[in-house]
A and B are shown apart, each in its own frame.
Chain A
Amino acid sequence: QQQVKQSPQSLIVQKGGISIINCAYENTAFDYFPWYQQFPGKGPALLIAIRPDVSEKKEGRFTISFNKSAKQFSLHIMDSQPGDSATYFCAAKRNFNKFYFGSGTKLNVKP
């Protein structure tokens, strides 16, 4: 059973637009929800993360929206730039346990 489901698989956005990537999870024991950004040839790097006691976290142009009752969380990239073109992974975990990753979203921001 896939613990974290991510959509869409790929996304094309015009420069300046809003990119939205969605994830849904199964295990209500998860207590940490990070998003990772991966550029070609590199390992993933933490972008932003949230805990379930808040509904939103914003860091610059990146925002996580969290809906605990629906067991969903999403990444919003405001004013998307070509440099944001990368693959994005959501993940979930609970303390002292492994991470569960979504399948990834390849974002292409058109100039």
Chain B
Amino acid sequence: GAGVSQSPSNKVTEKGKDVELRCDPISGHTALYWYRQSLGQGLEFLIYFQGNSAPDKSGLPSDRFSAERTGGSVSTLTIQRTQQEDSAVYLCASSPTSMLINEQFFGPGTRLTVL
């Protein structure tokens, strides 16, 4: 079956521009996560959507970062006025989040390069 998809796979932008990264989770998954992974580093939690609950935005590094999840499915991560330190791979993951199933399925990521 289809996994988590992300687009674009690569994005090169100039400093100061806004970018939008898209995540299509696995159909029916109620939970959606965004992470950032800098080169050779660990997973930095950004934001977590769980069903219709208010998202956990505690990981967003600044107010330049925002995310939406429309209709409980597709999510968009927006970075305004990009900075060079925003360069990283942005990973999306989804999970069915039942009492029995906790597995988190990751997409391939979007590699963002800010020049």
Residues of chain A at the chain B interface (Cβ within 8 Å) = 32, 34, 36, 42-46, 49, 89, 93, 95-96, 98-104, 106
CB-based contact A32/B102 at 8 Å: yes
**Taking the complex as formed, is B33 at the interface, i.e. its CB lies under 8 A from any CB of chain A?**
yes
Q: Which residues of A contact B50 (CB under 8 A)?
A: 96
**Residues of B with Cβ closer than 8 Å to A?**
4, 33, 35, 40-43, 45, 48, 50, 56, 91, 93, 97, 99, 102-109
Given contacts A43-B91, A43-B93, contact A98 B45 (CB under 8 A): yes
| Pair B102/A49 contact, Cβ less than 8 Å | yes
Contacting pair B107 A101 (CB below 8 A): no
Is A43 a contact of B106 with CB atoms below 8 Å?
Answer: yes
A103–B35 Cα gap in the complex (Å)?
Answer: 13
Give the docked Cα–Cα distance between A103 and B108 (Å): 19
User: Closest B-chain residue to A95, C-beta based?
Assistant: B99
Q: Known: A98-B56, A102-B42, A104-B42. Contact between A44 and B97, CB under 8 A?
A: no
Contact A44 B103, beta carbon cutoff 8 Å: no
Cβ-defined partner of B97 (8 Å) among A42, A43, A49, A96: A96
A43 to B107, Cβ gap below 8 A?
yes
**Nearest A residue to B40, CB-CB:** A106
- Verify B104–A46 contact, CB threshold 8 A: yes
Chain A positions within 8 Å of B97 at CB level: 95-96
Interface centre among A32, A43, A46, A98 (most CB of B within 10 A): A43
- How far apart are A93's CB and chain B's nearest CB, in angstroms? 6
Asked if B33 and A34 make an inter-chain contact with CB atoms under 8 angstroms apart, the answer reads no
Are B108 and A42 in contact (CB-based, < 8 A)? Answer: yes
With contact pairs A43-B93, A44-B43, A96-B50 given, residues A49 and B109 touching in the complex (Cβ less than 8 Å): no
Complex CA–CA separation, A89 to B106 (angstroms): 13
Residues of B near A102 (CB, < 8 A) are: 42
Q: Give the top 5 A-B pairs by smallest Cβ distance, nearest first.
A: A43-B106, A103-B42, A98-B48, A104-B42, A32-B102
Report whether B42 and A101 are in contact in the complex, using a CB–CB cutoff of 8 Å.
yes
Q: Which of A95, A98, A106 is in CB contact (< 8 Å) with B33?
A: A98
